[in-house]
Chains A and B, each alone.
Chain A
């Protein structure tokens, strides 16, 4: 089973700043099968990025995904107040899915 590691655990930033979140996988993952989600308290996760770099429907272009192999990155170019949340990466391999432990982006 592929294990996902996310860093940092918590990212403290101010609105307007750039956020860079990392997701590492224990084995190489096809870029087609890496996704990122945003989750706010009391809400279901929302898909942001799939296929490592494709934005889901309705996702603002300040969110971007990149990476390949075992290293993937979610970048939020300029944080808006509504972007403070927990972010999860997720991979699909051999018909099974696994999630990372999450990165919390909070207000500095």
Chain B
């Protein structure tokens, strides 16, 4: 059974760095063809793809946010970590991780991150 769970702070201050962690089970990110993707969704708005990490450690980022994002994996812990620097109130959103390279076949329940002073 594939499961993913996001964790991170519920509240961050403007200019701070956000770190969210995706802990997964039921698959291994060492297997060829496996990927984990981060997507976010501001309240009442559409989904926005953020980043993806692949089994071979290739990393891909949203063009508009590339300078602020870093994705990494710890295969021994079955975790993928996303950091986003210089947080702003417009970054308030639910942050999801999903398994899949070209589409999200399995999703976590998401974690709401609010950016406010």
Q: Interface of A with B (CB < 8 Å)?
A: 1, 32-33, 35, 37, 39, 43-47, 50, 56-57, 88, 90, 92, 95-102
CB distance A97 to B37 under 8 Å?
A: yes
Whether A45 contacts B104 by the Cβ 8 Å rule is yes
A56 CA to B104 CA in the complex, in Å? 10
Q: A35-B102, A44-B107, A45-B47 are in contact. Are A96 and B63 (CB under 8 A)?
A: yes
Q: Which B residues lie within 8 Å of A44 (CB)?
A: 96, 107-110
Complex: chain B residue closest to A100, CB-CB: B46
Cα A17 to Cα B76 in complex, Å, equals: 49
Tell me which of B47, B52, B101 contacts A99 (CB under 8 A): B47
A-B CB contact pairs (8 Å), 5 listed:
A44-B108, A47-B105, A47-B107, A50-B102, A92-B101
Is chain B's interface secondary structure helix, strand, loop, or mixed overall?
A: loop
The reply to whether A95 and B60 contact each other, CB–CB distance below 8 Å, is: yes
CB neighbours of B103 from chain A (8 A): 35, 47, 50, 90, 92
Partner of A37, one of B37, B62, B104: B104
Bound state CA distance, A46 and B104, in angstroms?
A: 8
- Contact at A98–B108, with CB atoms within 8 Å? no
Q: How far is the CA of A88 from the CA of B105 in the complex (A)?
A: 14
Known contacts: A97-B52, A99-B49. The answer to whether A47 contacts B62 by CB under 8 A is no
Of all chain B residues, which has the CB nearest A56? Answer: B105
Q: Which residue of A lies closest to B110 (CB)?
A: A44
A102→B52 CA distance, assembly (Å): 22
Q: Which residues of the other chain, B, contact A43 by a CB distance below 8 angstroms?
A: 109
Least distance between B62 CB and chain A CB atoms (Å) = 7
